[in-house]
Amino acid sequence: MTQARVAILISGSGSNMEALVRAMTGAFPARPVLVIADDPQAGGLARAHRLSVPHVVVDHNAMPGDRAAFEAALSRALTLARADIICLAGFMRVLSADFVARWQGRILNIHPSLLPAFKGLHTHARALAAGGAEHGCSVHLVTPGLDDGPVLGQARLPILPGDTPDTLAARLLPLEHRLYPAVLARFAQGDLRPLLL
């Protein structure tokens, strides 16, 4: 059984990237081949170094306003790494329809809400403001629409009295770290059935 080659795109601390990398051992049907940060300051670069995963920076600030150049550099790095699957993990750039089409069906993203609720930013504050009883995270296939693709997995948690966006985010992150590897394992084997943790 060949193992899928996984590239992970980050912009920040990279805790989801670390969870994915740590899961990809033994019988797991995928292996990390590259971490790409869009910012040289991304804390996840130090994590990738500690995890001995090859890592590069494709600095979006080096090509200000030129998304085509940025995405061409991304595609070059992904092609050189022979990536089969791309995991966006705390990646803060919106990818163009052209890029998504180029890697059609092979890009996953984790989003900190129970999609289709709360697409976009500030999801914890918005979930609190909505007054619902639950919050959660979703892993979905990336399509041209923002946070809009088919959901491949979700994990839920109760919203507690006194929760703030920060307490909610902190309680949600460990669930993300369980959900993303579980979905990736199924996806790498071609299993697109939604996983509900």
With 0-12 / 13-18 / 19 or more C-beta atoms within 10 angstroms meaning exposed / middle / buried, residue 101 is exposed
With 0-12 / 13-18 / 19 or more C-beta atoms within 10 angstroms meaning exposed / middle / buried, residue 130 is exposed
For ligand GRF, the binding residues in 111-150 under the rule CB under 6 A are: 112, 137
The smaller minimum CB distance to ligand GRF, of residues 46 and 68, is found at 46
Stretch that binds ligand GRF, among 7-15, 26-34, 78-86, 145-153 (CB under 6 A): 7-15
* DSSP annotation string for 129-149: HHT-SEEEEEEEE--SSTT-S
Applying CB under 6 A, which of residues 90, 136, 149, 153 lies at the interface with ligand GRF? 90
For ligand GRF, the binding residues in 155-184 under the rule CB under 6 A are: 173, 176
* Residue 123: both structure tokens together: 């999801």
Catalytic residue among 49, 55, 60, 111: 111
The smaller minimum CB distance to ligand GRF, of residues 137 and 188, is found at 137
Cβ neighbours of residue 97 under 8 Å, at least 6 residues apart? 144
- 111 catalytic? Reply is yes
Q: Residue 16, interface with ligand GRF (CB under 6 A)? A: yes
